[in-house]
Every structure is written in C-alpha cells, then in structure tokens.
Amino acid sequence: MIITVDPEFLTQEDIAKVFAGADVCRFTFTKTSPPVLVTNDNMALVRISGDLVRLAPLEGSYEAGPVNVAVIETDETGLHDLIIRAVPDYEAGFRGQFTCAK
C-alpha cells in the first residue's frame, strides 16, 4: 500500500477558525491558487485527507504526531519548497510561493 500525505487547499473559513485576525504566511502552488499551508510564529495549519491539522513549531518546521512540515527557500527566484514528512519512510516536496502578511 502506498501512503500519501498531500496538502489540500484551505478555505478562508478554515484559516479564520485558527488565525482570527492574526498576520500569517501562506504557501500556495501558484500566485493565484488557494493556500495549502498557513503559518504564524505559534502554529501552522494544513488540510490532509480532508482533515484540518494544526501543527506546533519545532526547530524550523512544524509538527503534529507523525506529520512534519517545513518550508525551505529554494533560490533567489523567491520560490520555496514545502516538504511534508510522515511515517518513517514518507517524504514529499511541493514547489510554490510563500508570502507573509505585513
């Protein structure tokens, strides 16, 4: 059996439930797509298999149970990689935009 832990789009309602009024950073696949990860200094939010998952900060990444998520700047183009790790042998990467509210 192949396990996948791909991030799904978050709605504005999802984000408002967790980050009411807070400044956040958003990871999107394109400049116009909905976010798949939203973060601030205290937590991150991702949707996996239809479930909203809150992740706590952990040394440059965010974690909840077996799921670990990190955003890494790729190069001077401004693109970032979203790396999701789960269970002992699963890792997936997604390239996109990572922007923060000011």
Q: Give Cα separations from 8 to 27, 34, 90 (angstroms).
A: 11, 9, 17
**pTM of the entire predicted model:** 0.90
Among 5, 1, 2, 18, smallest CA distance to 65 is for 5
How far is 50 from 82, CA to CA, in rounded Å?
18
Question: Token digits for 80?
Answer: 């970032």
pLDDT in tens, 3-46: 567 899 999 999 999 998 778 999 999 999 999 999 998 999 99
Residue-level pLDDT at 32: 94
Q: Which residues contact 11 (CB under 8 A, 6 or more apart)?
A: 34
Question: Token digits for 6?
Answer: 């791909």
Residue-level pLDDT at 18: 92
Q: Residue 1 pLDDT more than 70? A: no
Q: Residue 48 pLDDT more than 80? A: yes
pLDDT in tens, 85-97: 987 788 999 999 9
Q: Residue 77 pLDDT more than 80? A: yes
Q: Residue 65 pLDDT more than 60? A: yes
Residue-level pLDDT at 63: 96
Per-domain residue ranges of the chain: 7-100
In the three-class reduction of DSSP (H, G, I as helix; E, B as strand; rest coil), residue 86 is classed as: strand
Residue-level pLDDT at 102: 64
Phi, psi for residue 34 in degrees, rounded to 5: -65, 155
